Chains A and B, each alone.
Chain A
Amino acid sequence: MVKRSEKAKTMRKLIKAIWIFNWFNSCGFAELVPLVGSRWDMERFGMIIVGTPRHADVLFIAGYQTLKSIKRAKRVYEQMAEPRVVIALGSCTMTGGMYWDSYNTIKRLEDYLPVNLYIPGCPPRPEAVFEACEKIFEHVKELK
């Protein structure tokens, strides 16, 4: 039997839903907003979008970030309460993607924020985003 702390035990019971703060850059907008629509309804899995980072569990960085917007994203990350998870969407966050030779975009998101999960694709399909959220549930279950 794995010894778990009290906090982890309560978290396992409570986590049936995750609340997301979306940091929409353009590419993410076109692929993530349909998740809220009536076809890929994400509310049935318990995921909703909240308006402030203090209520959120997950920060979705969707798409390429520029030097100006990564500073704001960092501020948002600092305002989130533990436990928090960062998901990076798209190939631009992994290696620079299509804009690898642009002077204003950042090339590797892990240099700036601690990333828990990457979703590859340009842009990734909604089913991939759901699979990623499933992995988040399992990640929380394994928290010590």
Chain B
Amino acid sequence: MTRKMRGKRFTMIDQMEPALKGTEYDLYFGPAHPGSGNFGVKLKIDGEIVVSARADPGYLHRGFEKLMEYRTPIQNAILSDRLCILEPLNWNLVHAEAVDELMGIDIPERAKYIRVIMAELSRIQSHIIWYGVFSIGTGFDTGFKMSFGYRDYILDLFELITGGRVYPAGYICPGGVRRDLPNGARDKILKVLDKMEEMIKLEELENPALGARAKGVGVLKVKDAIRLGATGPVLRGSGMDTDVRKDEPYEIYDRLDFEVPVGKEGDVYARYWIGIEEIKQSIKIVKQALKELPEGEVIASNFKKPKIKFKMPEGEVYVRNEIARGEAAIYMVSDGSGTPYRIKVRGPDFLHMIPVLEYLLKGVQIADVPAIYWSLNICPADMDR
């Protein structure tokens, strides 16, 4: 067989019409997922290509914003853990900052450093879950088991300091933090950080199949990302250099030295790479904060004796923070009584799971749907509230 003939035969195969025509069907992706809460997506599929996607939220809707209107700020501090189960301390911090700003409280320095240490440890733990769940979504089971094994070191630290493995029972409360670090906590934290560095070395030996599944898939350009409301790692993966910790520093982030990793392509691989780099930066932040930790009180003096009810002055605030998934904000209105009049919770996942997901899933193959879905680092509890 001559080379010319062989070439002709191959082009004939390429030009063959797709054999299946008129095979449009509906597929419901969810609601039981191996790695997140309940969330469903209705897909319309034609052969192998997704024609359109429509998100179906509401499996976890509890009506948080109105539940918080019936409770006082101290009770809300405990409820705010459960806004997103995967990073409770970060949401604790947002709520505590909102009440602090509304009441005009000055927090002692030591409390600010401890708050930042706990928030960064929670961010590391959340990114480990992201890595594990992303691995199982793309078929790398060992990564899942390994990452959840390493995550338990941090959960043991949380149990030592706050008393709860998963829910810290409102450790970061208005006025500071509830109790001081116990003896020996500092050395334990440093040991755990060494284990985290060991884990990153293992994570970086990536699976070669990951490159094929992740590079060039699910590309999001900067203009589209801003129009759809993306924030956090999703926006940074597309190339925009922005981070609430650098734009409007809260607590002590303006005194710490860290970098913000920014991707270029905007595909699934860029977001995955940002997740690993952010763990390294968080380790750096915690080490710096531990070195500079000053002595002193950990809670403001008028909050030392616990009081369930205290009056909040009239006013309104809007507080923004950077949690592991993006930009989180709370808008709190108070009318002078002991309970907040209205709390609006703005979570990053509300925007990532509905507009961004519907946009990214158009025109991709079915096999790419899990990789794109898990790369957005979603938490359905945050979306439904």
Interface positions of A (Cβ within 8 A of B): 22-27, 29-31, 33-34, 36-40, 49, 64, 66, 68-69, 72, 76, 98-99, 101-105, 122-123, 125
Instruction: Find chain A residues with CB under 8 A from B79 CB.
Output: 98
Instruction: Find chain A residues with CB under 8 A from B38 CB.
Output: 24-25, 69, 72
Chain A min CB distance to B12 (Å): 40
B63 touches A125 (CB 8 A): no
**Bound: A141/B63 CA distance, A:** 43
Write the chain A residue with the least CB distance to B165: A125
Instruction: Find chain A residues with CB under 8 A from B186 CB.
Output: none
Do A37 and B148 contact each other (CB < 8 Å), given the known contacts A24-B33, A123-B167?
Answer: yes
A36 touches B148 (CB 8 A): yes
Do A38 and B146 contact each other (CB < 8 Å), given the known contacts A26-B380, A29-B37, A101-B70?
Answer: yes
For the complex, is B82 an interface residue (Cβ under 8 Å from A)? yes
**Bound: A27/B33 CA distance, A:** 14
For the complex, is B149 an interface residue (Cβ under 8 Å from A)? yes
A34 touches B148 (CB 8 A): yes
Residue in A23, A39, A69 whose beta carbon sits within 8 Å of that of B60 in the complex? A69
Query: Apart from A102-B62, A125-B165, what are 18 other A-B pairs with CB-CB below 8 Å?
Result: A24-B32, A24-B34, A24-B38, A25-B59, A26-B380, A27-B85, A34-B155, A36-B145, A37-B145, A39-B149, A66-B60, A66-B61, A68-B59, A69-B31, A69-B59, A102-B67, A103-B63, A105-B62
B62 touches A66 (CB 8 A): yes
**Bound: A123/B37 CA distance, A:** 15
Instruction: Find chain B residues with CB under 8 A from A69 CB.
Output: 31, 38, 59-60
Instruction: Find chain B residues with CB under 8 A from A68 CB.
Output: 58-59, 61
Interface size class of B (residues with CB under 8 A): 35 or more
B59 touches A24 (CB 8 A): no
**Bound: A38/B148 CA distance, A:** 7
**Bound: A123/B82 CA distance, A:** 11
Write the chain B residue with the least CB distance to A103: B63
Chain B min CB distance to A80 (Å): 13
Instruction: Find chain A residues with CB under 8 A from B155 CB.
Output: 34
Type the 1/0 row for B82-94, where 1 means its CB is closer than 8 Å to any CB of A: 1001100000000
Closest 5 A/B residue pairs (Cβ): A37-B148, A38-B149, A26-B37, A26-B381, A69-B59
**Bound: A29/B79 CA distance, A:** 18
**Bound: A17/B152 CA distance, A:** 25
B167 touches A29 (CB 8 A): no
B152 touches A39 (CB 8 A): yes
**Bound: A37/B82 CA distance, A:** 23
A30 touches B86 (CB 8 A): yes
**Bound: A33/B133 CA distance, A:** 10
Q: CB within 8 Å of A: which of B103-158?
A: 144-149, 151-152, 155
Chain B min CB distance to A99 (Å): 5
Chain B min CB distance to A74 (Å): 13
Interface centre among A27, A29, A31, A69 (most CB of B within 10 A): A29
